[in-house]
A and B are shown apart, each in its own frame.
Chain A
């Protein structure tokens, strides 16, 4: 078995003739948690969507388990995706389905399970995520944190080998943040599961990631083991990391300003 579950080869994408990602090549080791970070607008989420096969690159290839996912039929890709999961930044739950049916949907679609079996699996997962009280609610009635947790739960119900996370801990309250971290850490420690996570939160990355990929000015600026990246002496690399920290602090300050401004 190959040590790498996912490989990106010279992946580039352009928006309106401007380069958004320039010739990115990287390999994702099996069973590890890889955090992709970088300043705002550098193309992290786009890279994640390309890696998951949701957005075709303008050039380059993406291999999952050795299969070039943009050179196979759509039906083959749909079959392969049973074993991957993507947790969207905004949840992306089906707005016309209850939370229960959102979780049941991939099970019903992919497996011919009995209703009782589906019900047991869905209810156990909802309980595990503390969402059992809102199981019959439509997504519009859920808080942002609940939607993120629900999206995470929907991803895990299929027991995926490869999980893509888009900003799992951004814009959530501390309670949800703790719940998310509590769920992500066991996944990192599971040798059968590989996680690729886009995040701005360097503190979270420092505590959870095995590897860090740093995207800066449309390029893969640095990629390696977490400690090698965080403790690097390279002044430019440290400067880029400080830009990310600064961005986070600016956002935090702005939020604080809004919250404490009595005139609003």
Chain B
């Protein structure tokens, strides 16, 4: 029994310590971001562009593929299930709610975690092991300002853009299936979508993309810097980054949805 409480106590203390470290990391990000004296953010612009290229541009094919498939599946399911309840008129609304408001941001977030989040944690973790972070500090270069902040901006901007891109392709996927099955014309399909869509659908979707981007980049950079000395820590931290990001995504999604409906 004593051993059980001992391990439970350690687990709780580890969680608290981890949360405090994360809060301290966020504080450091803000301090570095609003630092007036010294270096500008210009030196990190190359890092930012590389991040947008990797997270955003290079992810376009996979996002398009997943979105087209999701749009097609969603419309097939809607067209087969809804008529049984006399709900054909809600196809557009369901497509908007499922894709634009919920699955679009979540699936885009998952793809970004899998492609870029793990890459960020691994890259920064390896830099710690190879003393590159120490080398930056020894030159007076703030690793937060040079490495973390450009990645946070890059991932967030990319995720917002990819989310919109995902929504568009998912709706195209839905249209293609409607066209093949119901011979729906583009104008009718668009009219149905516009009628079903309200401005808050788009704003909630963009807001989710923004918050997910910030969360993923913060967690993944934090996990990279959490590597201490050994290269064996790198995959462990990458795994924690994935689990942490997915958990944060669902919690944030739940909170945003709750706020929106209530």
Contact B139–A109 (Cβ < 8 Å): yes
Q: Which of B42, B123, B134 interacts with A88 by CB under 8 Å?
A: B134
The answer to whether B141 and A105 have CB atoms under 8 Å apart is yes
Q: Which residues 235-260 of A have a CB within 8 angstroms of B?
A: none
- Residues of A135-190 contacting chain B, CB below 8 A: 151, 154, 158, 164
Interface SS of B by simple majority? helix
With A85-B138, A109-B146, A158-B139 known to touch, is A90 a contact of B38 (CB < 8 Å)?
no
Find residues 105-154 in chain B having any chain A CB closer than 8 Å to their own CB.
123, 126-127, 130-132, 134-142, 146
Q: B37 and A110: CB pair below 8 A?
A: no
B134 nearest in chain A by CB position: A54
Q: How far apart sit A95 and B135, CA to CA, in the bound complex (Å)?
A: 12
Q: Taking CB as reference atom, which chain A residue is nearest B126?
A: A95
B interface size (C-beta, 8 A):
26
A250 to B52 Cα, complex, angstroms: 52
- Using an 8 Å CB-CB cutoff, how does the interface string of A66-83 with B read, 1 for contact, 0 for none? 000000001100111110
> Measured between C-beta atoms, what is the minimum distance from B20 to chain A in Å?
17
Decide if A231 is an interface residue (CB 8 Å cutoff).
no
A248 to chain B, nearest CB (A): 24
A166 to chain B, nearest CB (A): 10
* Nearest Cβ on chain A to B149's Cβ, whole angstroms: 13
CA distance in complex: A96, B236 (Å):
22
Chain A residues lying within 8 Å of B135, measured Cβ to Cβ, are: 86, 88, 92-94, 151
Q: Are A95 and B140 in contact (CB under 8 A)?
A: no
The answer to whether A54 and B137 touch (CB under 8 A), given A92-B131, A108-B42, is: yes
Which B-chain residue is minimally distant from A84 (CB atoms)? B138
Contact of A110 among B38, B123, B132, B134 (CB under 8 A): B38
The residues of B that contact A109 with a CB separation of less than 8 Å are 39, 43, 139-141, 146
How far is A154 from B132 in the complex, measured between Cα atoms in Å?
13
Is residue B14 contacting chain A, with contact meaning CB distance below 8 A? no
A114 within 8 A of B: no
- B131 partner residues in chain A, CB cutoff 8 A: 88, 90, 92
* B39 and A110 form a contact (CB under 8 A): yes
Task: Give the distance in Å from the alpha carbon of A82 to the alpha carbon of B142 in the complex.
Answer: 11
User: Given that A75-B37, A92-B130, A92-B132 are contacting pairs, would A85 and B139 also be in contact in the complex, using a CB cutoff of 8 Å?
Assistant: yes
Give Cα A154–Cα B138 distance, bound, in whole angstroms.
Answer: 11
Do the beta carbons of B35 and A106 come within 8 Å of each other?
Answer: no
Is B179 in the interface zone, CB < 8 Å from A? no
A112 is an interface residue with CB less than 8 A from chain B: yes
A78 touches B141 (CB 8 A): yes
Chain B residues within an 8 Å CB radius of A54: 134, 137-138
Total inter-chain residue pairs, C-beta < 8 Å: 82
- Write the nearest CB–CB distance from A46 to chain B, whole angstroms: 13
Q: Would you call A11 an interface residue if the criterion is a C-beta within 8 Å of the partner chain's C-beta atoms?
A: no
- Distance from A89 Cβ to chain B, minimum over Cβ atoms (Å): 9
Q: Which residues of A contact B138 (CB under 8 A)?
A: 52, 54, 81, 84-86, 88, 164
- Cβ distance B36 to chain A, nearest Cβ, rounded Å: 9
User: At the interface, yes or no: B40 with Cβ under 8 Å from chain A?
Assistant: yes
A110 closest partner in B (C-beta): B39
Which residues 133-181 of B sit at the A interface, judged by CB distance below 8 A? 134-142, 146
Q: Is B31 an interface residue (CB 8 A)?
A: yes
Q: Give the residue among A52, A85, A93, A108 with the most B Cβ atoms within 10 A.
A: A108
Give the distance in Å from the alpha carbon of A13 to the alpha carbon of B166 in the complex.
Answer: 53
Option from A78, A88, A92, A106 in Cβ contact (under 8 Å) with B142: A78
* Chain B: CB-nearest residue to A101: B46
Instruction: Report B-chain residues with C-beta under 8 Å of the C-beta of A105.
Output: 43, 139, 141
- B130 A75 Cβ-Cβ under 8 A: no
Give bound CA distance, A86 to B146, whole Å.
19
Bound complex: CA of A81 vs CA of B127, how far in Å? 20
Query: Which B9-60 residues have C-beta < 8 A from chain A?
Result: 28, 31-32, 35, 37-40, 42-43
User: What is the distance, in angstroms, from B120's C-beta to the closest C-beta of chain A?
Assistant: 13
In angstroms, Cα B37 to Cα A80, docked, is 12
Complex interface: chain B residues within 8 A of A82 (CB): 140
A112 to B43, CA, bound (A): 10
Residues of B contacting A78 in the complex (Cβ-Cβ under 8 angstroms):
38-39, 137, 140-142
Residue of A nearest to B50 (CB): A96
Contact of A92 among B32, B39, B123, B134 (CB under 8 A): B134
Interface string of A109-150 (1 = CB under 8 A from B): 110100000000000000000000000000000000000000
24 CB < 8 A contacts A-B: A54-B134, A54-B137, A74-B31, A74-B142, A75-B35, A78-B38, A78-B39, A80-B140, A81-B137, A81-B140, A82-B140, A85-B139, A86-B134, A88-B138, A90-B130, A92-B134, A94-B127, A95-B126, A95-B130, A96-B123, A105-B141, A109-B43, A109-B140, A109-B141
Additional 4 contacts, C-beta under 8 A, given A106-B139, A109-B140, A109-B141: A95-B127, A105-B141, A108-B43, A109-B39
